[in-house]
A = this chain, B = another copy of it.
Amino acid sequence: MRHFTSVGDVSDINALVTRALAFKKDPWSKRELGQRRRIGCLFLNPSMRTRLSTQVAAQHLGMESILFNVGSEGWSLEFEDEAIMSGSTVEHVRDAAPVMANYFDILALRTFPSLQNLKDDYSELVIRQFIRFAGIPVVSLESATLHPLQSLTDLITIRECIEANPALQTRKPKVVLTWAPHVKPLPQCVANSFSQWVNAWGGADFVITHPEDYELDQRFTQDARLTHRQVEALQDADFVYVKNWSTYRDYGKIYCNDPGWMLTHEKLQVTRQAKVMHCLPVRRNVELSDEVLDGPHSLVTRQAANRVWAAQAVLAEILENLQHP
């Protein structure tokens, strides 16, 4: 693996999940792999799980991680080609990225979409420009439209549940991605990325449910079944992934904030004792009720804990590729 920005960078999803689970059993098994290597983690936006789990994963691999809050600790970056930089941006990615490439072996990058301009966001300008000008491996710590480390974690967590439950090994588990209410417009990243990974994995019966007007980009949802009826979607579900996102087509809006879409204990009755997933942070009693989050079916802490193993598996693959390209 050279870069890690979407499921397209992964040649074998199941093998990567297997590797992550092996690291979970033996975190320090590759502690020499990152010796004298450095990962630079650039944050253009806030991050908690991603930030911390990447540091932990790097430590397990014996690699130095250097973190940098781009906007507050350094200079605001320009990403447009041929910009006349007489405005508020201080440094162009054309100049910053090659410098980073001299300091680090791997560059990891966190950026959010503007939610103002669909075309700009969905072109993934920021991460694309870093890849173009850095010339070293680039890892997405969430980008404008995708969050692949989160999706890898999600598949790791689903695999763990399947391995622990023989009933799930005899049929394709039903995985439901359900929209949830929120108080502000959020990116589509987690929903896009989860859809992309579940589709590429192919191991699930995959259903997406959301209110009208919240259609996601079909590039990511592909052949997943779509329904606006949440109850119907939840029927017989094994896994329910809860997530808010803002509108895609009339971009970045909140139309429906119907509290009725909040996932509750009652709604889960029609499922097959479905496990409930969320990437966190979660707005309690807005997206998901306390009773569900604190109940026995919640996987949210485990998902977040598995972030370490997801990051570690990805970094290990990239480090090995640096040694033997």
The prevalent SS among residues of A at the interface is mixed
Q: Are A55 and B48 in contact (CB under 8 A)?
A: no
Whole-angstrom CA separation of A154 from B69 in the bound complex: 26
Q: Are A91 and B281 in contact (CB under 8 A)?
A: yes
Whole-angstrom CA separation of A168 from B56 in the bound complex: 48
Q: Are B86 and A183 in contact (CB under 8 A)?
A: yes
| Complex interface: chain B residues within 8 A of A66 (CB) | 52, 55-56
Q: Are A301 and B73 in contact (CB under 8 A)?
A: no
Whether A64 sits at the interface, judged by CB under 8 Å, is yes
Chain-B contact segment, one of A38-46, A171-179, A267-275? A38-46
| Complex interface: chain B residues within 8 A of A183 (CB) | 86-87
Q: Are B51 and A82 in contact (CB under 8 A)?
A: no
Contact of A68 among B52, B59, B284, B286 (CB under 8 A): B52
Q: Which 6 A-B pairs have the closest CB atoms?
A: A91-B281, A102-B305, A48-B74, A85-B283, A99-B304, A84-B285
Pull 21 A–B residue pairs with CB atoms less than 8 Å apart, ordered by A.
A28-B36, A40-B52, A46-B75, A48-B74, A48-B91, A51-B68, A51-B74, A52-B66, A52-B100, A52-B103, A53-B103, A69-B73, A82-B285, A83-B285, A84-B284, A85-B283, A90-B281, A90-B283, A91-B280, A96-B280, A103-B308
Contact surface of A with B, Cβ cutoff 8 Å: 28, 36, 38, 40, 43, 46-49, 51-53, 55-56, 59, 64, 66, 68-69, 72-75, 78, 82-87, 90-92, 94-96, 98-100, 102-103, 183, 280-286, 290, 293-294, 300-301, 304-305, 308
